Amino acid sequence: MVYVVGIIALIVGLVGGFFIGVVYLRKQLTKMQSDPQMLQKMAKQMGYNLNGKQMQRAQQMMKNQGGMPPMNRKKK
pLDDT in tens, 1-23: 889 999 999 999 999 999 999 99
Q: Is the pLDDT of residue 33 over 70?
A: yes
- Residue 50 is which amino acid? L
> What does the mean pLDDT of the chain come to?
81
Share of the chain above pLDDT 70, in %: 84
Contact 68, 62 (CB under 8 A): yes
Cα–Cα–Cα angle for 41, 42, 45, rounded to 5 degrees: 90
